[in-house]
Amino acid sequence: MRKPTDHWILNHRKSILWAYAFLTIVACLSLFKIKFSFKFEQFFPKGDPDLEYFQEFSKDFETDDNFLLIAVESGRQSVFHPDNIHAVKEIAEQCQELPYVTTVQSLPTLKTPRFTPFGPSLISALSPEPDNRRTQDSIRIMQDDQFLKNFVSEDQSAMLIMIKHKDNLSMAESDSIMTAYRQIEAKNASEMHLLGRAYFQDELASMQEREIIVSTLVSIILVSIIFFLLYRQKWLILISLTTIALGMLLFVGGLSLFGREFNGISALYPVLMLIVGTSDVVHIVSKYIDEILLGKTKSDALSITVKEIGLATFLTSLTTAAGFVSLSTSRIAPIQEFGLNSAIGVILAYVVVITFTLAAVSMIPRESITQTKFHRFWSNLMDKFYNFTLNREKGILFGSLILGGLFVLGISKITTNYNIESNLPRGAKITEDFMYFENQFSGFRPFEFAIEIAEPYNAYSPEVIRQVKQISDKLKSYEEIGAVYSVADIIGSIPLMDLDAEGALQDSTIVAMQPFLSKMNTIGGAVLVSKNEQKTRITSKINDKGADVVNELGEEIDLWIQQNTDQSLLQVKRTGTGVILDKNAEYVRVSLLQGMALALLIVVIIMALLYRDWKMLFVALLPNVIPLLFAAALLGFAGIALEATISIIFTIVFGIAVDDTIHFLSKYKIAKNKGLSKEDAILSTFRDTGKAITFTTIILFFGFLVLLFSIHPPSNIIGILISITLLTALLSDFLIIPILLRKLF
């Protein structure tokens, strides 16, 4: 018969364990439904007016990322050798059979406009024979900026095939295209490089899958080592590991069960569940063991653990979850989803630890729980920390002021000039291909200009054509911009045309070309004029110089257009996926400040309810500002661009740093309520909670370093910065809080 005074976990532990066994089966079955997704549209800032404009622009024209570029290297032969021309033509014809493809163009298949005795006509841009015709074609191509770095590489070692496909490819459609393309690639001997939406979506989704698997495996190994060093007792190690694995499994399985897709930053989920779950396990298990070693019964040990540590752990889980919920202020959908999902994961980890872990650990016989030398080592270290804060108070305060000045200097150096290359997987073929196109062709980043024309003019009016030609020529004057194309460039590329005395297009030439222009299939298959002919576009690409650099250049061009074009005739606006994605740089600072303000407000409310004392509230918050300033300063000094993915560092650091502060102050409050003096209460807090906080910080440090195994550079940066910053958070708690307690109370 159970004693009526037994703790409820002790009374229902078998039922709890059986319930988790059932949930484990359900979670395992749901893992087969996991979906990985990567879409550029996910990272568009919601509610942005430029995004709305681009969406309208796409209805009239097309999206600017509906392409695949294939660079076919010529090997030791000339790029214009007949064998190479035939090889490129054959590959281009094979690409016509790719699913969802609308047009395929390359120099051997491309037809360009020419004036003939019978009027304008389309003829082949490059003929493999006879030799004299091919030589003339090759000379003309290398002198025409419509072809150089657009269809022929800068070093003349490769020829490009441009494939246009349907807009807004889904993951399944991208996979279909890439599967078919790899079959073409396998049966052709030529060295080929690839770039485009389908390639990015397919490869980056595969990277996410790889990241999830690797981070999970490395995390399990890491946790195993840590728990072995902490406990050296097989049953405690097994239960702790099972708790972490169970929390991670239920979280991932639950996301899959409810149809959540894993996006670009989902690789952080296993690491987060690892560190949050491990932190909770260490605090709960350490307290339970301490009480058992003091001679308490299992029921009493459970009661004390739940009352003293369970409440504090619940509050830390709330504050951490609040930090993640603050990401809902972001305009970027994957960041919002990451914040919400992570908040759910934090609460789930707490529930698993407080129920499963305590139910399982209560099954261990009392005689199997013994104290380790390792345990005593940390107790001695905590005494040294206490004595250091007692004897070095002035030095600590002076050092804090110096660090504050360095933090301000570092923060002043923060930039948002992120680029695409820094977000691509290290050592991967897709990164190699991206850099190949950056160096040999015009790159990947679209740089579009939408032009709206006032009536009674239209896109083919001579007055409009001349204005468009001016803008196009201005773009071509920038070394960073390539593959510039417009209706005016079609006319300008036709040899033997009549020009006026200043070399400008004559009205008669433009008028003669109008019927021809409205029907021809332009280079690259780009739609250059809307159906009602009241809108046109200039399409181009710009090198990956970084969001801030590109925006500065864009603003310079905008100003030039405003000063050098007839505003009553046409209105010009920069648009495209590149512009929209770069808008994140503008919002990331605002979203970060809003998110941190929301997280701080939630934490203030929780701590105000907990302590009901403004001085204690000040003590709780001040030490947690230091790690945030430190993280920001690191970004500045290291020259790391602050972008949407990197910005989550501050949320994670704040949420976790506050956890340690709550544990420290909760233990101090309990010690004071037991009648201990101020100094005895601080010393008791160091010896009890200080030891657990140190354990968890070490776990967090190595836990986030798991991200060093990632091939995704932003994940590496997140791992390193958070690991280092959390050490700062620990030192801030240990060095600042005791001094504030002595000064204010």
**What pLDDT, in 10s, does the model give residues 649-661?**
887 788 778 888 8
Residue 1 binned pLDDT confidence (cut-offs 50, 70, 90): very low
Instruction: Find the mean pLDDT for residues 607-636.
Output: 83
Q: Which residues of 77-110 are buried (b: 16+ CB within 10 A; e: fewer)?
A: eebbeeebbebbbebbebbeebebbebbbbbbbb
* 23-37, 266-280, 715-729, range with greatest mean pLDDT: 715-729
Among 89-98, 375-384, 453-462, 466-475, where is mean pLDDT lowest?
A: 375-384
Residue 693 main-chain phi, psi, to 5 deg = -65, -40
Query: What does each C-alpha distance from 162 to 48, 144, 175, 489, 656 come to in angstroms?
Result: 31, 17, 19, 18, 49
d(CA 499, CA 505): 5
Say if CB 696 and CB 279 are below 8 A apart: yes
Say if CB 496 and CB 164 are below 8 A apart: no
Residue 745 CA to chain centroid, in angstroms?
Answer: 44
What percent of the chain is modeled with pLDDT above 90? 16
d(CA 421, CA 350): 38
The structure tokens listed for 596 are 């941190």
The pLDDT tens digits for 132-156 are: 777 888 888 888 777 888 889 888 8
Q: Which residues of 175-186 are buried (b: 16+ CB within 10 A; e: fewer)?
A: bbbbebbeebbe
The pLDDT tens digits for 677-724 are: 999 999 988 888 887 788 778 878 887 888 888 888 888 888 888 888
d(CA 524, CA 620): 61
Q: Which residues of 368-381 are buried (b: 16+ CB within 10 A; e: fewer)?
A: ebeeeeebeebeee
d(CA 352, CA 562): 62
β-strand pairing of 261-262 with 35-36? parallel
The residues near 568 (Cβ < 8 Å, ≥ 6 apart) are 454
Element (H, E) at 592: helix 577-611
d(CA 732, CA 114): 74
d(CA 189, CA 47): 48
d(CA 310, CA 3): 23
CA atoms within 13 A on the CB side of 664: 34
Residue 669 burial class via C-beta count within 10 angstroms: exposed 0-12, middle 13-18, buried 19 and up: middle
> Scanning the structure block, which residue is given the tokens 């009890």?
688
SS (H, E, C) 195-262: EEHHHHHHHHHHHHHHHHHHHHHHHHHHHHHHHHHHHCCHHHHHHHHHHHHHHHHHHHHHHHHCCCEE
Say if CB 112 and CB 151 are below 8 A apart: no
Residue 526 binned pLDDT confidence (cut-offs 50, 70, 90): low
Q: Which residues pair with 452 in a beta bridge?
A: 535, 571
> What pLDDT, on the 0 to 100 scale, is given for residue 523?
47
**Better-predicted residue by pLDDT, 70 or 315:** 70
The pLDDT tens digits for 212-252 are: 778 778 877 877 787 777 667 778 788 888 888 898 889 88
**Better-predicted residue by pLDDT, 268 or 347:** 347
Instruction: Find the mean pLDDT for residues 474-488.
Output: 88
Kindly tell me if the per-residue pLDDT of 647 is higher than 70: yes
> What pLDDT, on the 0 to 100 scale, is given for residue 688?
80
The pLDDT tens digits for 329-341 are: 777 777 888 888 8
Domains and CATH numbers, the chain: 8-39+203-421+582-744 (1.20.1640.10), 65-202 (3.30.70.1430), 447-575 (no CATH)
d(CA 441, CA 101): 22
> What pLDDT, on the 0 to 100 scale, is given for residue 445?
85
Residue 173 burial class via C-beta count within 10 angstroms: exposed 0-12, middle 13-18, buried 19 and up: middle
Residue 366 DSSP class: G
Residue 671 DSSP class: H
Kindly tell me if the per-residue pLDDT of 72 is higher than 70: yes
d(CA 390, CA 690): 15
d(CA 627, CA 630): 5
Residue 306 DSSP class: I
Residue 318 CA to chain centroid, in angstroms?
Answer: 25
Q: Which residues pair with 446 in a beta bridge?
A: 541
d(CA 476, CA 492): 13
Residue 161 binned pLDDT confidence (cut-offs 50, 70, 90): very high
> Scanning the structure block, which residue is given the tokens 């030891």?
691
Instruction: Find the mean pLDDT for residues 179-202.
Output: 90
The structure tokens listed for 515 are 């019927």
Instruction: Find the mean pLDDT for residues 262-289.
Output: 78
d(CA 438, CA 83): 26
The pLDDT tens digits for 583-606 are: 776 677 677 777 777 777 777 777
> What pLDDT, on the 0 to 100 scale, is given for residue 451?
94
d(CA 388, CA 736): 11
Say if CB 168 and CB 144 are below 8 A apart: no
Residue 359 burial class via C-beta count within 10 angstroms: exposed 0-12, middle 13-18, buried 19 and up: buried
Say if CB 547 and CB 416 are below 8 A apart: yes
Kindly tell me if the per-residue pLDDT of 374 is higher than 60: no
Name the 3-class secondary structure at 410: helix
> What pLDDT, on the 0 to 100 scale, is given for residue 528?
85
d(CA 288, CA 630): 35
Kindly tell me if the per-residue pLDDT of 393 is higher than 80: yes
Nearest to 232 by CA among 372, 108, 339: 372
Name the 3-class secondary structure at 167: coil
Instruction: Find the mean pLDDT for residues 497-513.
Output: 59
Q: Rounded to 5 degrees, what angle do the CA atoms 161, 163, 167 make?
A: 160
Query: What does each C-alpha distance from 190 to 74, 438, 460, 589, 665 come to in angstroms?
Result: 7, 20, 41, 46, 67
Instruction: Find the mean pLDDT for residues 427-451.
Output: 89
Amino acid sitting at position 470: Q
Average pLDDT taken over every residue of the chain: 82
Among 98-102, 343-347, 420-424, where is mean pLDDT lowest?
A: 420-424
Instruction: Find the mean pLDDT for residues 54-61.
Output: 84
d(CA 668, CA 394): 23
Instruction: Find the mean pLDDT for residues 542-567.
Output: 90
